[in-house]
Structure formats: structure tokens, C-alpha cells
Amino acid sequence: MSVSLLRVSSVSVRFGGLRALDDVSLDIRPGTITGLIGPNGAGKTTLFNVVAGIQRPTSGRVELAGRDVTRHAPQRRASLGLARTFQRLEVFGTLSVRENLLVGAESRRRWERSVRPHAIVDDVLTRLGLGGVEQALADQLPTGTQRLVELGRALATGPRLLLLDEGASGLDEHETAQMAALLRTLADEEGLTIALVEHDMPFVMGLSDTVVMLDHGQVVAAGTPAEVRSSAAVQAAYLGSSTTAGGA
């Protein structure tokens, strides 16, 4: 039985009267892919923000590789091996694609002295097939490519845990399949742990080892894709039974 890489315990986030997250607990084991699903406003991005350190939880605890990081700033969590992409794109728009990745690789030198940023960037560029646009300014690329740039930048920091917030939206069918294959390889061969938020159900269900469903800020189902797919809560949320339709 391996230890959790990420442990979220009883995390709640309140915005005024609204409970964005309500007593959410989550365990993610190393080398696995976890899919987070749920209707819009269910709290998926808020949960990512809490894990990444952008949003302070009102209560609860976040542990990364056994260390309590609840009060750590995002940059400190990054140095512990956390990387993420954003639902609404946050590329460094006025830097070239190569420079975007370099910023990631270079800050990695702070906690991993021996790395050679340019070599890392070359490797990631090839992997993601971004070699052709490496000199282009990130702002000027199509949305799908910008998502890849964000993924590349995250990978360049050499993460242990990668949070992908709708990393496949804006990609076409072929690119989505490529992305799934890439993520699978990263998890299986390099032991990268991945948590992803995605609306594309076949993509999540096909790729994830574990699926967690959030609704109204609460975990309503968790388990293997098959278990979650057949759970009553998922049926209710996605097929529109009376109480939970719509989300917050």
C-alpha cells in the first residue's frame, strides 16, 4: 500500500454565504491518473486552486508527499513538485513558446541544481510536438496550442503531481487522443501523478484510474470509472433528475 502523494482532508471554501467546497477529502496515490468530474460550478477549479495554493481554504488541510502545505504559497508548492494548467488560459503571452517553457525549467533550478533548462525545454518541445512554433509568441497561437504550451510549461518544472484544468478542451479529436496517450505514458513510464478536470466524459473515463465526482462543493461519488458511471449521483447530475440539475 503506497502513501498518498496528495491528501486533501476536510477542505471547505466559503465565498460569503456560498460554499464552494464543503468538507472535501481526497487521496491521490503516486503514478495514478485521477479524473475530477461534475457540473459547472461544482467546485472543481476551486479545489485545484486550493491544492495549488491560489485559494486559501476556510478550513481543512492539504498535504503534499506527507508535508502539510496548507499555508504554503504557490511557488513553494511548485518547488515540492506541484504543477498545473489553467481552465482560462494563463500563458505568458508576450514570451515565445520556448521562453514560456524556459521560465518553468529555470525555476526548477532553484530546487534541482543540476538541471539544464535548454535540454529540458528541447525534450518537452519534441514531446508535445511544439518544435515548429517554438519562436512564436504564445498569445498569437490558437487556443488548443496554447493549452499545449501550458502543459509544456508545467512539465518543464519536473513535477511529481500535475493538475490539468480542462487541458484537452480546444483540442480536436486526433489531438485529444494524442494527449490521452501522452498522459498515459507520463503516468505509466515516468510515475507522474495526474489529476485532471475535464468535461469530455469518454476522455476522462477512458484515461483515469480513479474518478471523483463533485457536486455543490461535495464529493458525491468516487471510485473506478465503472463504479462512478453507475452511481446514482452521477446519473442524477448528468441525466438531470430533479434536485441536482444545473449546479451552483
Between the CA of residue 36 and those of 109, 125, 201, what are the distances in Å? 31, 27, 10
Instruction: Give burial (CB, 10 Å; 0-12/13-18/19+) of 125.
Output: buried
Q: Nearest approach, Cβ of 103 to another protein (angstroms)?
A: 5
Q: Nearest approach, Cβ of 100 to another protein (angstroms)?
A: 8
In the chain, the amino acid numbered 9 is S
Which CB, 79 or 244, lies closer to another protein?
Answer: 79
Residues that bind another protein (CB under 8 A): 49, 52-55, 71, 73-75, 78-79, 82-84, 86, 88-95, 99-100, 102-104, 106-108, 110-111, 117, 137, 139, 143, 150, 153-154, 156-157, 170
Q: Nearest approach, Cβ of 74 to another protein (angstroms)?
A: 4
Which CB, 139 or 227, lies closer to another protein?
Answer: 139
DSSP three-state, residue 100: helix
Tell me the C-alpha distance between 153 and 89, whole Å: 12
DSSP three-state, residue 10: strand
Q: Nearest approach, Cβ of 124 to another protein (angstroms)?
A: 13
Dihedral sign, CA of 202, 205, 208, 213? positive
Which CB, 232 or 248, lies closer to another protein?
Answer: 248
